[in-house]
């Protein structure tokens, strides 16, 4: 097989030569925007489930809503703070919050839902400590026990949908953190 024309190194390109791959059209700012939309979409879906279909949230559901809101805020900070430090700080915040969400969704499914009550758990203490349940009761007030809130959507437990979204958000945060800085 015969080559046609000189190879890039043969015509004077060195280590500083531009890459021949097209530039990424989906930079960190767009990743952060997508993360914020997914997180706020999850809260919107939860609110629609609650207010349109009567699926009342338990304390762990409300805690996951709060984590999704925190992820959205961290992602919006990442879209606004364009420096490398901003990408790293916001990416780390999104990753830590997503890991907390994974833990809370797993805890809800494997420990809280099988029990008869989830009163006075860590989720209750966090929600009551922040006070959002009294400031925004339609969004952040727990109104059901964990056993009552254990419902399925398309045959999959609702908390697994939340868990899956948290995993996707954690993977997106890892993608942002692993990206090389733009020069």
pLDDT of residue 14: 55
Residue 154 has a pLDDT of: 79
pLDDT of residue 28: 73
Q: What is the pLDDT of residue 128?
A: 79
What does the pLDDT read at residue 20? 45
- Evaluate if pTM is beyond 0.85: no
What is the full per-residue pLDDT of the chain (183 aa) written as tens digits?
565 655 555 455 555 554 544 444 457 788 999 999 999 999 999 889 888 887 888 888 888 999 999 999 999 999 998 888 888 999 999 999 999 999 998 888 777 766 666 666 787 778 877 887 778 777 777 776 766 666 777 777 778 888 999 999 999 999 999 887 655
- HEC secondary structure over the chain: CCCCCCCHHHHCCCCCCCCCCCCCCCCHHHHHHHHHHHHHHHHHHHHHHHHHHCCCCCHHHHHHHHHHHHHHHHHHHHHHCCCHHHHHHHHHHHHHHHHHHHHHHHHHHHHHCCCCCCCCCHHHHHHHHHCHHHHCHHHHCCCCCCCCCCCEECCEEHHHHHHHHHHHHHHHHHHHHHCCCCC
């Amino acid at each position: 097989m015969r080559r046609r024309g000189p190879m890039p190194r043969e015509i004077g390109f060195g280590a500083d030569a531009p890459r021949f791959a097209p530039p990424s059209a989906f930079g960190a700012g767009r990743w952060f925007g997508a993360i914020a939309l997914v997180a706020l979409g999850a809260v919107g879906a939860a609110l629609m489930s609650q207010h349109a279909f009567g699926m009342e949230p338990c304390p762990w559901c409300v805690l996951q809503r709060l984590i999704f809101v925190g992820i959205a805020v961290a992602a919006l900070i990442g879209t606004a703070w364009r420096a490398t430090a901003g990408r790293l700080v916001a990416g780390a915040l999104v990753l830590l919050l997503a890991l907390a969400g994974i833990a809370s969704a797993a805890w809800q499914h494997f420990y809280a839902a099988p029990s008869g009550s989830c009163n006075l758990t860590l989720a209750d203490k966090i929600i009551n400590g922040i006070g959002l349940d009294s400031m925004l009761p339609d969004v952040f007030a727990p109104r059901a026990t964990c056993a009552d809130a254990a419902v399925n959507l398309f045959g999959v437990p609702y908390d697994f949908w939340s868990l899956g979204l948290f995993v996707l958000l954690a993977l997106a945060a890892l993608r942002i953190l692993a990206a090389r800085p733009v020069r």
